[in-house]
Amino acid sequence: MKKTISTDLAPKAIGPYSQAIECNGLLFVSGQIPIDPNTGVIITGDIKMQTRRVLQNIKAILEAAGYTLDDVVKCTVLMADMNDFADMNQVYGEFFVNNKPARAAFGVVKLPMNAKVEIECIAYR
């Protein structure tokens, strides 16, 4: 059974997709960029600030579905500049302390709204 997950504590989807989909104990969280859910505007700032906002958005979506960061099994990180990897990784490590998920990180040419980082994840319960 497939269930759509949505919360006002994370940015609304800005296209034809859902914040997350739950199916058979798996939660697929769509790629999040550093949009402030209160304003709908991307936050300005360095990669650390943007990564923190992205992970706060992911955490809100996980919680809306009854999951936690400890339930995340896989993340994919997209960055506009791979030179930002160390700073992104530092903030990322603040959120994933206990059960560190598998992860892939890629440098891309451009992200939506000129974000510096986008992260998607899969959680399992």
pLDDT tens per residue across span 91-121: 999 999 998 999 999 999 999 999 999 999 9
Return the CATH number at 72: 3.30.1330.40
How far, in Å, CA of 73 to CA of 90, rounded?
Answer: 19
pLDDT surpassing 90 at residue 89: yes
Q: What confidence tier does 14 reach under pLDDT thresholds 50, 70, 90?
A: confident
Q: In what order do the strands lie in the sheet with 117-124?
A: 2-5, 20-23, 26-32, 117-124, 72-79, 102-107
> Which residues make Cβ contacts (< 8 Å) with residue 47, sequence separation at least 6?
79, 81, 84, 87, 88, 91, 116, 117
Average per-residue pLDDT in the chain?
A: 97
Number of domain units in the chain: 1
Domain carrying residue 76 = 2-124
Query: pLDDT-based confidence at 17, cuts 50/70/90?
Result: very high
Give the C-alpha separation, 77 to 104, whole Å: 6
